[in-house]
Copies of this chain bind each other. A is one copy, B any other.
């Protein structure tokens, strides 16, 4: 019995079911609606959900709640099971409302995140990303605030010319984000120039020059400087390991010499 339980919650079986589940989720969407394959993949997915539920219960039974809840991975697994529960009711409900169906489906999709476990050295990577993100939070927050400032500025300046892209600060913020990704930045500027010419303004020339200066500045700050800074902070944080390893070695060397001096004194 015990052996059967261990096999049931073993990493190898769980991994296989995760892959099967991911495959079922993808192929379910690939199959045309109403086809037999689609309903087959749906029921395979359904069985996988039940498996994950049973797996969690078995594990909790075997290890006790305390040990089960200690690892952040099993916490994640448990929340996946919880979110998947409503999906089990799916076939028995009259799902008339679109919104509920969508939420149920996205809940099922949540299980796909379990495939992330396949990444080798995931813990190490997550640690590195978390540290790099914490180090670069200042850069990203700064870019967010500069985005906000530029968005309000753009709203004031370009609202009448291009209400679709700069009609309110939220729309402007989206447009400025686009400029920060450097993607299509000059097309936004071009559209403003065209509109200015159409509207028959008197000093178009000044407006064009100002608009171009505004977008060149936004590209330089957000796209070139911001990205480079974030990049540099990331690399810096990644290399911290190496430097710390060197520092430890030098420190131990210094200790060695101090011990040598002490030896000599006595």
Is there an interface contact between B116 and A155, defined as CB atoms closer than 8 Å? no
Q: Does A263 contact B (CB under 8 A)?
A: yes
Given contacts A120-B138, A122-B138, A261-B260, contact A149 B109 (CB under 8 A): yes
CB proximity to B under 8 Å, residues A215-256: 216, 219, 223-225, 227-240, 242-243, 245-247, 249-254, 256
Given contacts A29-B169, A125-B138, contact A242 B245 (CB under 8 A): no
A243 CB, min distance to chain B CBs, angstroms: 4
- Copies of this chain in the oligomer: 4
Bound complex: CA A199 to CA B249 (Å): 66
Is there an interface contact between A260 and B264, defined as CB atoms closer than 8 Å? yes
Given contacts A29-B156, A112-B152, contact A240 B242 (CB under 8 A): yes
Q: Does A22 contact B (CB under 8 A)?
A: yes
B-binding residues in A (CB < 8 A) = 22, 25-26, 29-30, 102, 105-106, 109, 112-113, 115-116, 118-122, 124-125, 128-129, 132, 137-139, 141-142, 145-146, 148-149, 152-153, 155-157, 159, 168-170, 174, 177-178, 181-187, 212, 216, 219, 223-225, 227-240, 242-243, 245-247, 249-254, 256-261, 263-265
